[in-house]
Amino acid sequence: MKSIASAPGKIILFGEHFVVHGTKAILAAIDKRVTVTSTLTEDKTIKVNSELGTLEVPISSSYEAAKSEFRPFIYLANKMINSNQNVNGLEITIDSDIPVGVGLGSSSACCVAATGSIFGLFKEWSSEEILKISIEAEKTIFPDTSGADCTVCTYGGMIEYPSIEKIGNTFDLNLLIANSMILHNTKNSVEKVNKFKENNEERFSQLCDLETKLIDEVITAMKNNDTTTFGLKMSENQKYLEEIQVSNDTLHGMISTLNEISLGSKITGAGDGGCIIALVKDGNVNKVPALLGKDKECFSAKIDTKGIVWSKI
């Protein structure tokens, strides 16, 4: 018997970093997924197979001893084994089409899909339960997570975090994702922003207020079908991200290049590398590869509406 769960990756449209400090954020799940398959074994081990390698450890091994990319799986496997006395071992296989380490929610989607798959071996769980446990799993890699990423990967669609209510966007968001191909480390970027906050308390608090106002304006723009304002707000948000120093020359260069054919563009996720998103003007998408150059990867983002999907065979 296999328990299979898949969850989508995500983009942060507005509010990354500030969301860690209590502001709202707007996120959307995207049509790239990770699938986790779990099978019970008799081996008294937890085995994890992924494109990052294979790990096999005795059951009850501490997750802290594992490399960070394996920790959530060991944490989740032990949590499940501890609450089911007749489980001897577990094999977990991860298949993903979400690029790793570039701000598209690969680790959150893994945590959500792994929770659904591992815990789904015995019963179907509610989305609320899966979300709660997946955030615990993500904290084994990144203790300060806002929880926004796991939330959108669980529920799908576009959400105004911390609400899980889906935003029904009335206009067609022609969003393009471009990968700088520079890996980033969310924990390091968040720590850097914490330092910025410590050294610039008053300005950081102003920026949080500005971000809150900006998100309210974006919600109004969406209600009014106003793509121009939506794009302008992306570029305004990018200025706040530059001020807290999570951009760099490569990202800045990509954003400036795309501005001539976009209504707005910005970093998505932690920054310091990873991806940018651009609201490309109609008919301009095919110009992007030539503008950015061959060394950057770009693709259109479609919004996933399903969130976590689970099955048992």
If DSSP codes are grouped into helix, strand and coil, which group holds residue 257?
A: helix
3-state secondary structure 265-306: EEEECCCCCCEEEEEECCCCHHHHHHHHCCCCEEEECCECCC
Say how many CA atoms lie within 13 Å of 186 toward its Cβ: 27
Nearer CB in complex with ligand PMV: 130/276: 276
Query: Per DSSP, what are the bridge partners of residue 154?
Result: none
String marking each residue 139-178 x if it binds ligand PMV according to CB under 6 A: ------xx-xx-----------------------------
Residue 149 is among the residues annotated as catalytic for this protein: yes
- Tell whether the torsion through CA atoms of 122, 132, 267 and 101 is positive or negative: negative
Shortest separation between residue 8's beta carbon and ligand PMV, angstroms: 13
Asked whether the beta carbons of 46 and 60 are under 8 A apart, the reply is: no
Question: Is 99 one of the binding residues for ligand PMV (CB under 6 A)?
Answer: no
Question: Is 20 one of the binding residues for ligand PMV (CB under 6 A)?
Answer: yes
Q: What angle do CA 119, 94, 27 make, to 5 degrees?
A: 80
Question: Is 269 one of the binding residues for ligand PMV (CB under 6 A)?
Answer: yes
Size of residue set near ligand PMV by CB under 6 A: 16
Question: Is 211 one of the binding residues for ligand PMV (CB under 6 A)?
Answer: no
Instruction: Give the residue at shortest CB distance from ligand PMV.
Output: 269
Question: Is 16 one of the binding residues for ligand PMV (CB under 6 A)?
Answer: yes
Q: Which residues participate in catalysis according to the annotation?
A: 149
**Binding region for ligand PMV (CB under 6 A):** 12, 16-17, 19-20, 103, 105, 145-146, 148-149, 186, 190, 269-270, 274
